[in-house]
């Protein structure tokens, strides 16, 4: 593969691919339940702050580095360090990213598999069901979880094996418009069948009495995860960006679309939650338990439910491919392995680690790994609250302090004022906040 000439076709392909990476389970499953358990509006406000002042400057940096050095995160960081006469140890950011990608993919695929399974469960709904029992039935069977986990990871590996243009590009052009249309249908459904005004005030009128130090950590972790930052996915996609594409504008569109979809997911879910008198703070089971019982009750609920879980699965797929791409790109660019072989091998590793997450719903539910957390929650914690914030912190320090500013300026273009603004945030605001919030969890 010639990395110099491999480029997305047209400006919108990069935007669709990056938005496809960003919009995923984090937006439609994670954001609503975290907003629900953290008291609503205040969490939303802190989350928006994290996106804008931590996420956006780091996203600009990742895209800039990818676009200039055009490699996997490892070689991008290595080349970037060399050109700015910095230590080649900075490539550790790239290595951390490859590992984080495989770790996240391992549990992401288990969750996405449950979503795939739920498409069929919803379509088969006939009248009342006990949705708690249903969820327990789905998750108590290691074999059933294994089947869907395997299907999901095979689809991911197959797309990545097909390559950047015929795999990723073709897929996101198909999936992203579908996702957007399905989302609008879900919001219209919530508007008609739900209590829209109560949901609106729950999401947008902040009550700071529910805010603790943990709210900040959770909102920041969620912002990194949701924007796909700190592990090289966006950097890797930036490597296929056309050289004349604007970075500020593209970053703002991607971050904006990601935020829009998270908000729309809230507006699709909470109105029906409230209309049915269900508590918004039920946690990770919010969509699988609370929503399912509501779908069972709605007119045409089986179709609406089926569409909802299809939407969730599509969003998950366009994200999971970006979790696998950085490590596959690394092996392929070095000609160590072909893309299909690298893709099968790395997906196989993620599949294997995923078995731990899958078992944590049933056979391993009593085993704890980090603190009192089961395997799945430990992997989630490791990724969201350690690997991604640390990856993002080091990207910010590198881009702000180590990279030669004239290189950044040449790559970013635009006005002097916007450049100075980015530079100020990436030097003083983003890293300090990430570090502060990160350290806070230990005291």
Min dist CB 406 to ligand PHE, Å, is 30
- How far is it, in rounded angstroms, from Cα 106 to Cα 223? 20
Min dist CB 71 to ligand PHE, Å, is 18
The binding track of 267-306 with respect to ligand PHE, each residue x by CB under 6 A or -, is ----------------------------------------
Binding ligand PHE (rule: CB under 6 A), the pick from 13, 27, 75, 250 is 27
Closer residue to ligand PHE (CB): 33 or 225: 225
Number of neighbouring beta carbons within 10 Å of residue 296: 19
Indicate whether 313 belongs to the interface with ligand PHE (CB under 6 A). no
- How far is it, in rounded angstroms, from Cα 162 to Cα 139? 32
Determine the distance from the C-alpha atom of residue 391 to the mean position of all C-alpha atoms in its chain, rounded to a whole number: 15
User: Would you say 185 and 397 are in contact if contact means Cβ atoms under 8 Å apart?
Assistant: no
Indicate whether 307 belongs to the interface with ligand PHE (CB under 6 A). no
| Close Cβ partners of 81 (under 8 Å, ≥ 6 residues apart) | 87, 88, 89, 90, 91, 398, 402
Kindly state the helix (H) or strand (E) to which residue 212 belongs, with its residue range: none
| Close Cβ partners of 34 (under 8 Å, ≥ 6 residues apart) | 43, 218, 219, 222
Closer residue to ligand PHE (CB): 28 or 272: 28
Min dist CB 265 to ligand PHE, Å, is 10
Indicate whether 94 belongs to the interface with ligand PHE (CB under 6 A). no
Closer residue to ligand PHE (CB): 387 or 403: 387
User: Would you say 38 and 210 are in contact if contact means Cβ atoms under 8 Å apart?
Assistant: yes
Indicate whether 176 belongs to the interface with ligand PHE (CB under 6 A). no
The span of 37-45, 139-147, 184-192, 315-323 binding ligand PHE (CB under 6 A) equals 315-323
Indicate whether 111 belongs to the interface with ligand PHE (CB under 6 A). no
Closer residue to ligand PHE (CB): 26 or 71: 26
Closer residue to ligand PHE (CB): 178 or 278: 178
Binding ligand PHE (rule: CB under 6 A), the pick from 15, 16, 18, 25 is 25
Indicate whether 222 belongs to the interface with ligand PHE (CB under 6 A). no
Helix axis angle, 405-412 to 56-69, nearest 10°: 90
Residue 101: closest CA among 323, 293, 297: 323
**Torsion (CA) 154, 157, 158, 162 in degrees, nearest 10:** 180
Closer residue to ligand PHE (CB): 118 or 274: 118
Indicate whether 391 belongs to the interface with ligand PHE (CB under 6 A). no
The span of 24-32, 33-41, 137-145, 179-187 binding ligand PHE (CB under 6 A) equals 24-32
Residue in the structure block whose two tokens are 């629900």 = 36
Indicate whether 104 belongs to the interface with ligand PHE (CB under 6 A). yes
The span of 84-92, 169-177, 273-281, 318-326 binding ligand PHE (CB under 6 A) equals 318-326
The span of 19-27, 44-52, 181-189, 373-381 binding ligand PHE (CB under 6 A) equals 19-27
Indicate whether 21 belongs to the interface with ligand PHE (CB under 6 A). yes
Closer residue to ligand PHE (CB): 102 or 408: 102
User: Would you say 134 and 428 are in contact if contact means Cβ atoms under 8 Å apart?
Assistant: no
Min dist CB 321 to ligand PHE, Å, is 9
Q: What are 95's two structure tokens?
A: 């290595």
Residue 272: closest CA among 307, 305, 314: 305
Residue 300: closest CA among 178, 199, 185: 185
Using CB atoms within 10 Å of the CB of residue 352, give its burial: 0 to 12 exposed, 13 to 18 middle, 19+ buried: exposed
Indicate whether 26 belongs to the interface with ligand PHE (CB under 6 A). yes
Number of neighbouring beta carbons within 10 Å of residue 420: 11
Min dist CB 250 to ligand PHE, Å, is 16
Residue 304: closest CA among 186, 187, 196, 199: 186
Binding ligand PHE (rule: CB under 6 A), the pick from 183, 323, 332, 346 is 323
Q: Is 299 strand, coil or helix?
A: coil
* Range 225-264, binding ligand PHE (CB under 6 A): 225-226, 228, 231, 233
Indicate whether 98 belongs to the interface with ligand PHE (CB under 6 A). no
Using CB atoms within 10 Å of the CB of residue 281, give its burial: 0 to 12 exposed, 13 to 18 middle, 19+ buried: middle
User: Would you say 138 and 145 are in contact if contact means Cβ atoms under 8 Å apart?
Assistant: yes
Indicate whether 117 belongs to the interface with ligand PHE (CB under 6 A). no
Number of residues in contact with ligand PHE under rule CB under 6 A: 15
Closer residue to ligand PHE (CB): 232 or 280: 232
Closer residue to ligand PHE (CB): 21 or 430: 21
Q: Which residues bind ligand PHE (CB under 6 A)?
A: 21-22, 24-27, 104, 225-226, 228, 231, 233, 319, 322-323
């Amino acid at each position: 593969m010639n990395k110099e000439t491999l480029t997305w076709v047209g400006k919108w392909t990069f935007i669709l691919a990056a938005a496809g990476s960003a919009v995923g389970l984090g937006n439609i499953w994670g954001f609503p339940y975290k907003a629900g358990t953290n008291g609503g509006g205040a969490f939303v406000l802190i989350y928006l702050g994290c996106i804008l002042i931590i996420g956006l400057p780091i996203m600009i940096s990742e895209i800039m580095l990818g676009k200039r050095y055009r490699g996997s995160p490892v070689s991008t960081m290595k080349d970037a360090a060399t050109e700015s006469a910095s230590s080649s140890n900075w490539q550790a950011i790239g290595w951390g990213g490859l590992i984080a990608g495989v770790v996240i993919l391992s549990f992401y695929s288990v969750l996405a598999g449950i979503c795939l399974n739920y498409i069929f469960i919803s379509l088969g709904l006939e009248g009342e069901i006990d949705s708690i029992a249903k969820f327990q039935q789905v998750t108590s069977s290691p074999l059933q979880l294994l089947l869907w986990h395997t299907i999901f990871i095979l689809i991911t590996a197959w797309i990545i094996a097909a390559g950047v243009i015929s795999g990723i590009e073709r897929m996101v052009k198909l999936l992203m418009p579908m996702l957007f249309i399905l989302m609008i249908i879900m919001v219209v459904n919530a508007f008609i069948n739900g209590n829209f005004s109560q949901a609106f005030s729950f999401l947008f009128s902040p009550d700071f009495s529910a805010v603790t130090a943990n709210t900040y950590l959770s909102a920041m972790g969620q912002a990194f995860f949701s924007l796909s930052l700190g592990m090289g996915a966006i950097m890797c996609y930036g490597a296929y960006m056309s050289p004349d594409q604007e970075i500020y504008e593209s970053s703002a569109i991607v971050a904006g679309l990601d935020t829009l979809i998270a908000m729309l997911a809230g507006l699709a879910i909470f109105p029906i939650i409230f209309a049915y008198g269900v508590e918004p703070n039920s946690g990770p089971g919010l969509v699988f338990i609370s929503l399912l019982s509501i779908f069972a009750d709605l007119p045409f609920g089986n179709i609406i439910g089926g569409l909802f879980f299809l939407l969730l699965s599509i969003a998950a797929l366009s994200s999971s491919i970006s979790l696998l791409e950085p490590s596959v790109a690394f092996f392929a660019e070095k000609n160590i392995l072909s893309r299909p072989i690298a893709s099968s091998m790395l997906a196989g590793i993620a599949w294997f680690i995923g078995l731990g997450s899958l078992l944590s719903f049933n056979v391993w539910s009593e085993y704890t790994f980090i603190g009192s957390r089961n395997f799945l929650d430990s992997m989630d914690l490791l990724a969201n609250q350690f690997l991604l914030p640390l990856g993002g912190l080091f990207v910010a320090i590198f881009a702000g302090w180590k990279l030669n500013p004239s290189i950044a300026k040449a790559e970013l273009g635009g006005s002097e004022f916007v450049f100075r603004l980015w530079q100020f945030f990436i030097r003083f605001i983003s890293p300090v906040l990430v570090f502060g919030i990160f350290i806070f969890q230990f005291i």
